[in-house]
Structure 1
């Protein structure tokens, strides 16, 4: 027996003409139809009461909850569960209270127009997110389909591509796909077209030449702004290997400096999150800038000193302490994050002694890292050793 009171209905620019029989039946039996004005305008006259969804979007949730028990249809663009409103609505409801009738997503429509294999095309929802999220995906020959906020976002997108040295990227700007207003415009990012461009708007990108980010940890140091307080590139690679990020995990980066370890953690997988704890205000601000430049907005920066700054943070799956581990901090971590993986790099004898005692008590792995780099030696070149590092990794 059907018990749901809410139907989430995906609708395209072709309005009722593109709706299935099941979708039409939901509209015919609804008491109330809610949706943005543009979506409501796509429908034929209804017997149901209509209600415009307010702006900002979150203001409509309480209104919807007040209608619980009546037969309600909420209109959403295309497929509501692909960068759409579906998951936002259903998190407030029991599964028995709702059903969904998805339509064609804008990504499917764009791929069908362009002949692009969707399984090999990166799809991003940028209508309510920073364009910097594009940065990890910019590599020569890559294809992306992204949603945009509105027509004003087109020159902003072109500026971003030019600023990241991908100005020869080819764009296909897709307006109102699937409806009578559909239009495709082909341009190059460096042309910076001004429009106007109609909403809803999707941009398909064929990425040109430019400085792609490496996929491997231990990315070049010049990818990060820093004041010298940064985990060196090869040590970073070994540290990420020891942290062993897994999908969905959260990292504490204590004494984050430039945030390089936390940001490399995030670059490993799109479901990872991180908290960077840094006591110096200028370094904390620099972490924010590095995160923006690398397109990583799943990081929170806490300005403060551990262990006091750890109170109230999301539970970590892994913790990195690049320097400054002491007995007090270690005891706090063992109490507040039991079972979490800890990786600590020591450069002082005192911290080495602490890690050796910790290894004797908790086990785990020890690694001594000795690095040398070429440096002038008179009229010749010799190896200049860096300070050795002792790395301990294990579970608290």
Structure 2
């Protein structure tokens, strides 16, 4: 099977004689509605068109059942976060020919005269916020962003403003290369009310060097009402996270998040982490979200309710877990954590009493966990805190 993937933009395509001959001799075509509108006048009368809509399973199944060669029309460069990568992965034995044109970000860069090679490319087309959030927290100065119909310029600007990333300007383009092309320089506030059309993309440029604060004093967090001391102190928090070596892990659970201080610090210092915070107190939901916004920390997934009762089947399983609270059920919480913790994953634990310390050590010895770190720290006039990290060795 041969699959030819042809990149087009928003103008009527001018194909080479060789490509025109291949189109004229083909029967099976695929592409989006916009692509069909552009090329339908040059397709053979008896052509079969398969619409490309997300998810792509229907298209893939149609091609897989076919014995004919296919021509697939795509936007710009089909290998630039495009359908070409999916087709190469799904049809490894097929002959795949890619005929690209400039992608939308390249054309926009040409139009406004910038060195687009200096911009960190982020595709939000059919993707989560994870990579974008990471770039914001890391303080990336220049970004080029591909959008879709859910993650629009307005929704992206809204997320940035919600979490305090006000120090960017947007260089926006829509229907690039076509008759309805529009290019604008916008503040994020202006982007909120933009009457935009698809397809669109934009560049983000920092307007000042502000970056999120790390190593946050506990007094700066919004506290639990009437319980201002119920928070992991900064030296304890930072030491625990450092000893857990989160740079080597990918999925972090914070069990008993309370104010969200540990989740926030983990995400700020390790933006690659997928962070999930569990908390039973209903009033903590607003507190955690306020603190996340206050300290510019998007991307924390919050699961409210009793940790032992909430469903975790749809969550990414952790390779690092911090036990911030267990409601008098330490062993039951640890047993449940152990069900989901990946092999060689770690548990971080803080103990204020010899009783809880010994219970944790006893549980570890009976469940094939090795204590890899154990330190004791005293902050001001507070009781000494034992900081432990245990690694799953089965």
TM-score (norm 2): 0.74
Q: Secondary structure at the match of 2:105?
A: helix
Which stretch of the first structure deviates more once superposed, 127-136 or 278-287?
127-136
Other-structure match for 2:387:
391
CA drift of 1:231 comes to 2.9
Distance, in Å, in 2 between the alignment partners of 1:311 and 1:134 is 24
Contact 1:14–1:180 (Cα < 8 Å) also in 2: yes
CA contact (8 A) 1:111 1:118 kept: yes
User: What CA deviation, in whole Å up to 9, does each residue of 1:88-146 have, x standing for no partner?
Assistant: 6666x242247362443333333344454445423333455688946862798922222
Contact 1:168-1:209 at 8 Å conserved across structures: yes
Instruction: Rate the CA distance shift 1:20–1:316 in 2: closer, same or farther, 3 A.
Output: farther
Query: How far off is 1:212 after superposition?
Result: 2.8
Alignment partner of 1:366 is 2:341: no
How far apart, in 1, do the equivalents of 2:310 and 2:27 lie? Answer: 54
The change in CA–CA distance for 1:168 and 1:317 in structure 2 (over 3 A counts) is: closer
Written as runs of structure 1 = structure 2, the 5 A alignment for 1:177-326 is 177-190=176-189, 196-209=195-208, 212-214=211-213, 216=214, 218-219=215-216, 227=224, 228=228, 229-246=230-247, 249-268=250-269, 271-284=272-285, 287=288, 294=296, 296-297=298-299, 299=301, 301=303, 303-306=305-308, 314-324=316-326, 326=330
TM-align CA RMSD:
4.3
Q: 1:167 to 1:395 in 2, by over 3 A?
A: closer
TM superposition shift of 1:371: 1.6
| Change in 2 beyond 3 A, CA 1:144/1:195 | same
Q: Which runs of 5+ in 2 are unaligned?
A: none
Matches of 2:339 and 2:133, distance apart in 1 = 39
Whole-Å Cα distance in 1 between the matches of residues 339 and 161 of structure 2? 49
Worse-matched range after superposition: 315-324 or 184-193: 184-193
Which position in structure 2 is the counterpart of 1:99?
Answer: 96
CA distance in 1, matches of 2:57, 2:115: 36
Aligned to 2:75: 77
1:354 correspondence with 2:359: yes
Structure 1 unmatched runs, 5+: 373-384
Report the count of equivalent residues: 375
SS of the counterpart of 2:359? Answer: helix
Q: 1:32 to 1:279 in 2, by over 3 A?
A: same
Shift of 1:313: 5.2
C-alpha distance in structure 1 between counterparts of 2:32 and 2:352, whole Å? 59
Following superposition, the deviation at residue 273 of structure 1 comes to: 2.1
Q: Is the 8 A contact 1:359 1:366 kept in 2?
A: no
Please give the alpha-carbon distance, in whole angstroms, between the structure 2 residues aligned to 1:25 and 1:267.
Answer: 55
Q: 2:349 aligns with which of 327, 344, 349?
A: 344
Residue 38 in structure 1 maps to residue 42 in structure 2: no
* Corresponding residue for residue 175 of structure 1: 174
- In the alignment, the residues of structure 1 paired with residue 129 and residue 78 of structure 2 have an alpha-carbon distance, to the nearest angstrom, of 22
Q: Which residue of 1 aligns with 2:9?
A: 12
Distance 2:340 2:157 in 1: 46
Residue 41 of structure 1 deviates from its aligned partner by: 2.1
Query: Does structure 2 conserve the Cα–Cα contact (< 8 Å) formed by 1:254 and 1:278?
Result: yes
Task: Answer yes or no: is 1:65 the counterpart of 2:73.
Answer: no
The verdict on how the C-alpha distance between 1:134 and 1:388 changes in structure 2, with shifts beyond 3 A counting, is same
Write the distance in 2 (CA, Å) between the matches of 1:130 and 1:334: 27
Point out the more displaced range, 246-255 or 344-353. Answer: 246-255
Q: TM-score, normalised on structure 1?
A: 0.74
Larger deviation, residues 286-295 vs 318-327: 286-295
**1:392 CA drift (Å):** 0.8
1:57-101 superposed Cα distances (whole Å, 9 cap, x missing partner) = 22x52254134233233333223454444556666x242247362
Mapped partners of 1:288, 1:152: distance in 2: 21
